[in-house]
Amino acid sequence: MNNNEKQFEDFVSDMKFDDAPDSEHRDKLEQRLICAMAKRPRPIKIWRIIMKSNVSKLAAAIIIIGIVLSFHVFEKLSSPAWAIEQTIEALKDLRAVYMNGIFPGGTAEIWMRANKIGTQSGDVVVRGSHGAVTWIKDGSTYHYESGQNTVYFENAITVGFSQWLGPELLEMLSKVAGAEIMRGKDPATGRQRATLMCSLLDSNGPQSWIIEFDVETKLPVSFKHWSNLDMSGPPAFYAFKIIYYQELADSLFEVSIPGNPVYVEKPLTIPDQNIGILSNPQKGMSAYGLSRQQACEQILRALYNAVIEGDLDKLKNLAPLSENWGDDFLRDVILRTGKPDRIVEVVKIGQISKTGRSKIGPIVAVPVVFKREDGSMVEQNMVIQIRQLGGKSSCVVHGPYGLPREIE
Amino acid sequence: MVMIVETCNLRRVIRVDSSSKETDENLLIARARDDSAAFVRLYRNHYDAVFRYCVHRLFERHIAEDVTSEVFLKVVEKIHSFKGDEMQFRCWLYRIATNAVNNHLRRTSRRNRILKLAHEQAGSQVAECEESAEKLTVLKEAVFSLRPRYQTIITLRFFENLKLTEIAEVLGSSPGTVRSQLTRALAKLRKVLDTEFTEKSEVN
């Protein structure tokens, strides 16, 4: 270092710059960057073609769950990440959650409350950065598109979590066939993290999730969700901020739409990716000589009997999407063996409530009322695919239409 | 990621921050091309450095914030084409920031305006005390009297503590050239600073 250099260094060494970054600016810029990232042109993926409208994009983005960032040094676990019994008692009462995340085309804020018994989501409000709002009211789902001044609705709860974001979530999803759990340490906080990765084809089409759980609290701290099986491309939803509450104010779930929007009912559809499995003539049940209503009643009664009796082979035959989920997952999620919410009786199979059409024929939604072991009564809409294969009429169960609803 | 667990009266608040620095910066850079989450982490890792560099070049916080925003929006636009390691990424960021600062100065003619107003703005927005403010005013005048390239070299060398090889990487030049330009810049600075201090001591 020469003399000039030394002198200048001395001159500036005791100079006090007010150059501390402002966290408010940093956070605001971060939001701008997230939006800018989401708006960047990318190669067109199949799901982007399918998800053309904001309605389906946002709805799909929040239907279920997502992923985790695997930036830690992970090691595969040979034993469970934790025992549920060790869950901190206080955390079981967290019945409300706020999430902030990104979906293709923008960002979204989600407020959600668990249902009365804390098993799944109840009230949900999703506000997208482009002005769209999705909410649940009286068992129906509404989606407002401000640009179209239109509210799309369907008489089913099609947004939310079928398993509440509590400690049981990891237990449940870890049983999906092929699921992997890894453990790592957050280098910033030193907290232990468990990361779950799983994929399956369900009634919403192909799904993949990576969910990051905090090991101490057993709660998800971030997740990503893809509408494909290989986690390719940007996630359909990435919740990067999750805040848990004991309760949230009712006012957060009240949505008022300005002006006089047009109300349009969403048609009943099933994902094209599921058609292949539903086309297998070896699966399902003959509908020869039966009316559409009779065929639905027969197959649904047979399906629920299979669940009550624990007959997995029959279940997989009548509802073939479940075939690749893994027996452990089916026992845990569908059969609920030994759990108080196990289905014990089919009380009523209702009339066809909604019809639509897939590539292989008509589809119908039928409400089923069943009783659980704890005495509660639940209504679940199920979608049946009617088909003509080789000149023979048959039907097969596609899966649930929305989340189940407890009834009085 | 912040997870806050609230019980009655906020008895228990747990902070689980996953917005941490990537342990493997190179991996993070690679993922940031397509992954918004990785990009956000990368941004958080580098925001402070870019902002400070902009403050040290522009001497005004609010303008520095605007230019910092421009820098990272440019990074969003260009990151898919960036190929390099952690050190190259840092230099790349400084290069984008340098261009943004120089463009800003050119676009708004700030250089001239700042020179003109320098005397009136003795209490600079980035000075922390009166004594520092006075020195800062002198420094500001001196630095803005230099060519933008020399300003860049002075700032990177003395405020961001970059090595000559790193400055050369930022400027797309050789370390030898940077060394000789640094010498020339310092000689000019000394001249201006000597004059300034002589004038001020005569006034006092």
A101-157: pLDDT as tens digits: 888 878 888 899 988 888 788 899 988 887 888 898 888 888 888 878 888 888 888
Subunit contact B16:A217, Cβ cutoff 8 A: yes
Query: What are the E-state strand segments in A294-360?
Result: 343-349, 354-358
All residues of chain A having their beta carbon less than 8 Å from the beta carbon of residue B159 are 12, 17
End-to-end CA distance of chain B: 55
Subunit contact A244:B4, Cβ cutoff 8 A: yes
**Considering the domain B146-204, what is its CATH architecture?**
Orthogonal Bundle (1.10)
pLDDT band at A161 (very low <50, low <70, confident <90, very high): confident
Subunit contact B69:A17, Cβ cutoff 8 A: no
Print burial letters for B23-48: b (CB count within 10 Å at least 16), e (below 16): eebeebbebbebbbbbbbbbbbbbbe
d(CA A71, CA A361): 46
* Three state DSSP letters for B137-174: HHHHHHHHCCCHHHHHHHHHHHCCCCCHHHHHHHHCCC
Q: Return the pLDDT at A149.
A: 83
A323 vs B: CB within 8 A: no
Residues 6+ apart with CB under 8 A from A349: A296, A297, A300, A301, A366, A367, A368, A369
A213-267: pLDDT as tens digits: 888 777 888 888 888 888 888 888 888 888 888 888 888 899 988 878 888 888 8
Cβ neighbours, 10 Å, residue A377 = 15
Would you state the structure tokens that stand for residue B92, as one six-digit string?
A: 């790349």
Domain edges within chain B: 23-108, 146-204
Would you state the structure tokens that stand for residue B174, as one six-digit string?
A: 């050789």
Q: Which of B36, B183, B186 sits opposite A34 (nearest CB)?
A: B36
Instruction: Please say if the pLDDT value at position A70 is more than 80.
Output: no
Domains B23-108 and B146-204 share a fold: no
Q: Which of A146, A170, A165 is nearest to A62 (CA)?
A: A165
Subunit contact B16:A191, Cβ cutoff 8 A: yes
All residues of chain B having their beta carbon less than 8 Å from the beta carbon of residue A113 are none
d(CA B71, CA A29): 11
Q: Which of A149, A151, A104 is nearest to A128 (CA)?
A: A104
pLDDT band at A45 (very low <50, low <70, confident <90, very high): very low
Domains of chain A: residue spans and CATH: 28-265 (2.50.20.10), 272-407 (3.10.450)
Instruction: Please say if the pLDDT value at position A343 is more than 70.
Output: yes
A72 vs B: CB within 8 A: yes
CA distances from A54 to A68, A121, A130, B16, B191 (A): 25, 23, 9, 32, 63
* Mutation choice for A interface testing from B11, B18, B45 by most A CBs within 10 A: B18
d(CA A167, CA B5): 14
A84 vs B: CB within 8 A: no
Subunit contact A17:B126, Cβ cutoff 8 A: yes
Q: Which of A350, A374, A344 is nearest to A116 (CA)?
A: A374
* HSE value, Cβ hemisphere, 13 Å, CA-based, for B95: 17
d(CA A313, CA A305): 12
All residues of chain B having their beta carbon less than 8 Å from the beta carbon of residue A17 are 52, 55-56, 126-128, 132, 136, 159
pLDDT band at B72 (very low <50, low <70, confident <90, very high): very high
Subunit contact B36:A37, Cβ cutoff 8 A: yes
The angle subtended at Cα A78 by Cα A72 and Cα A80, nearest 5°, is 85
Subunit contact A240:B40, Cβ cutoff 8 A: yes
Instruction: Please say if the pLDDT value at position A7 is more than 60.
Output: yes
pLDDT band at B196 (very low <50, low <70, confident <90, very high): low
**Considering the domain B23-108, what is its CATH architecture?**
Orthogonal Bundle (1.10)
Tell me the average pLDDT of chain A. Answer: 80
* Mutation choice for A interface testing from B2, B4, B5, B41 by most A CBs within 10 A: B5
Instruction: Please say if the pLDDT value at position A272 is more than 60.
Output: yes
Q: Which of A16, A69, A238 sits opposite B128 (nearest CB)?
A: A16
d(CA B154, CA B149): 9
For the packed helices B61-78 and B36-58, what is the interaxial angle rounded to 10 degrees? 140
Q: Which of A21, A40, A221 sits opposite B51 (nearest CB)?
A: A21
- Are the beta carbons of A210 and A196 closer than 8 angstroms? yes
* Three state DSSP letters for A256-300: CCCCCCEEEECCECCCHHHHHHHCCCCCCEECCCCCHHHHHHHHH
d(CA A180, CA A199): 10
CA distances from A302 to A180, A203, A308, A327, B95 (A): 33, 19, 10, 19, 68
Q: Which of A93, A219, A222 sits opposite B18 (nearest CB)?
A: A222
Subunit contact A12:B17, Cβ cutoff 8 A: no
A90 vs B: CB within 8 A: yes
Q: Using CA coordinates, name the residue in chain A closest to B73.
A: A33
Subunit contact A11:B139, Cβ cutoff 8 A: yes
Q: Distance of alpha carbon A241 from its chain centroid, rounded?
A: 16
ipTM value greater than 0.85: no
More confident residue, A15 or A160: A160
All residues of chain B having their beta carbon less than 8 Å from the beta carbon of residue A221 are 1, 3, 16, 18
Subunit contact B186:A8, Cβ cutoff 8 A: yes
Of A24-28, A213-217, B133-137, the least confident: B133-137
A355-378: pLDDT as tens digits: 999 888 899 999 999 999 989 899
Give just the sign of the alpha carbon dihedral B47, B52, B57, B62: positive
All residues of chain A having their beta carbon less than 8 Å from the beta carbon of residue B135 are 11, 15
Subunit contact B14:A22, Cβ cutoff 8 A: no
